[in-house]
Structure formats: structure tokens, C-alpha cells
Amino acid sequence: MTLAEILRAVDEGLPVHWQNPGYQVERPAGGGPCVIRSLSTGHCIGLTWTNGITLNGKEEEYFIGEGTTLLPVK
């Protein structure tokens, strides 16, 4: 998934994961940049580097949780 696809999916309320279902991409309450949160420890890292563009991890490591679909923009 590209950064734009990840942000859109998160904003639409879809469960976006990184590497495995134990890591979820979330937008903190009150807004702000998205983070990747470990569901087992609660530890968070930024979705992107400080430049706001470069993803932590590779695009192919991000996916939408099973049973949900990101619909194309019309």
C-alpha cells in the first residue's frame, strides 16, 4: 500500500496492519500523524520518518485487515 492508500484507509476506519495483524496503523485521538502500534505491547513508532513522506517499512508490508476492502475512489 502506498502512503496515500494507508492514510485513506485509516481515515475510513479500516484496520490497516504492518507486517502482521499484531501491528496496527492508527491516527491518535485529536489528530496528528499516524503511528504503528504493537497490539501486544502498546509501543508506537511513526508511520513515516520525520520528513512525513518516507514510510517506516516497505509498501508491500502494509495491508488491510481480513474481511475488509478499500474501495476505489469514484
CB contact set of 68 (below 8 Å; sequence gap of 6+): 14, 15
Query: Looking at residue 68, what is its pLDDT?
Result: 55
Torsion, Cα 31 32 34 40, to 10 degrees, reads -70
69 pLDDT tier (thresholds 50, 70, 90): low
pLDDT tens digits for range 7-59: 999 999 999 999 999 999 999 888 889 999 999 899 999 999 999 999 999 99
Query: Looking at residue 31, what is its pLDDT?
Result: 81
Residue 72 has pLDDT above 60, yes or no: no
Domains of the chain by residue range: 3-63
Query: Looking at residue 73, what is its pLDDT?
Result: 52
Residue 6: strand, helix, or coil: helix
